[in-house]
Amino acid sequence: MDRDPLILLIDDEPQILRALKTILSAGHFQVISAVNGEQGIALAVSQSPDVIILDLSLPDMDGIQVCEQIREWSAIPIIVLSVRDSERDKVAALDKGADDYLTKPFSIDELMARIRVALRHSAQSIGNKETVITAGALSIDLARHIATLNGDEIKLTATEFKLLSYLAAHADRVLTHQAILTHVWGFEESDHIEYLRVFIGQLRKKIEIDPDNPQVLVTDPGVGYRFRTVD
Partner 1 sequence: MIIGLVTLVLKSFASGLQIQLIALLYLLPVLVCTLFWGLTSGILAGLLSFLAFNFYFIPPYLTLAVHQSQDVITLVVFLIVAVVVSQLIGQARQAEKLARKREWEATRMYELISALAGLTDTQIIIQTLAQKIIETFDFDQVEIIANEQVNGKPVSFCLSKLEVQKKKSDLTLSMFTARNTEGEIRLWLDQNALSLEETRLLAAFSSQGAMAIERVHLMQRENIARILEESDRVKTSLLNSVSHELRSPLAAIKASASSLRSGAVDWNTDAREELITTIDEETDSLNLLVGNLLDMSRIEAGALKPMKRWNSILEIVKGVEAKMRSQLAQHPVEYVFPGNFPLIPTDYVLMGQVFTNLFSNSVKYAPPASHIVVTAETNEGSALIKVINQSPAVAEEHLEHIFDKFYRVTEADKITGTGLGLSICKGIIEAHGGKIWAENQPEGFSFNISLPLTLDGELPKIPKDETDG
Instruction: Choose between 21 and 84: whose C-beta lies nearer to partner 1.
Output: 84
Q: Is the dihedral of CA 149, 154, 160, 163 positive or negative?
A: positive
Q: Please, what is the minimum distance in Å from the beta carbon of residue 105 to partner 1?
A: 5
Amino acid at 51: V
d(CA 160, CA 162): 5
Q: Quick check: 18 binds partner 1 (CB under 8 A)?
A: no
* Stretch of residues binding partner 1 (CB under 8 A), selected from 15-23, 32-40, 54-62, 213-221: 213-221
d(CA 101, CA 51): 13
User: Quick one: which of 59, 151, 186, 221 contacts partner 1 (CB under 8 A)?
Assistant: 221
Q: Please, what is the minimum distance in Å from the beta carbon of residue 193 to partner 1?
A: 5
Please report, as residue ranges, which positions from 129 to 168 form the binding site for partner 1 (by CB under 8 A).
Answer: 155-160
86 — phi, psi (to 5°)?
A: -75, 150
Instruction: Choose between 128 and 213: whose C-beta lies nearer to partner 1.
Output: 213
How far are the Cα atoms of 52, 123, 151 from residue 154, in angstroms, in the given order? 38, 30, 9
d(CA 102, CA 85): 9
User: Quick one: which of 122, 193, 208, 229 contacts partner 1 (CB under 8 A)?
Assistant: 193
Q: Is the dihedral of CA 44, 47, 49, 54 positive or negative?
A: negative
d(CA 50, CA 122): 8
Q: Please, what is the minimum distance in Å from the beta carbon of residue 177 to partner 1?
A: 8
Which residues are 55's β-sheet partners?
81
Total residues contacting partner 1 by CB under 8 A comes to 26
User: Quick one: which of 18, 129, 145, 192 contacts partner 1 (CB under 8 A)?
Assistant: 192
Q: Quick check: 16 binds partner 1 (CB under 8 A)?
A: no
Q: Please, what is the minimum distance in Å from the beta carbon of residue 210 to partner 1?
A: 10
92 — phi, psi (to 5°)?
A: -60, -45
Number of residues in the chain:
231
Q: Quick check: 190 binds partner 1 (CB under 8 A)?
A: no
Please, what's the b/e burial string for 86-113 (b: 16 or more CB within 10 A of its CB; e: otherwise)?
eeebbbbbbebbbbbbbeeeeeeeebeb
Q: Quick check: 197 binds partner 1 (CB under 8 A)?
A: yes
Q: Please, what is the minimum distance in Å from the beta carbon of residue 212 to partner 1?
A: 6
Instruction: Choose between 6 and 149: whose C-beta lies nearer to partner 1.
Output: 149
Q: Quick check: 194 binds partner 1 (CB under 8 A)?
A: yes
Residues that bind partner 1 (CB under 8 A): 85, 87-88, 105, 107, 155-160, 177, 191-195, 197-199, 201, 212-213, 219, 221-222
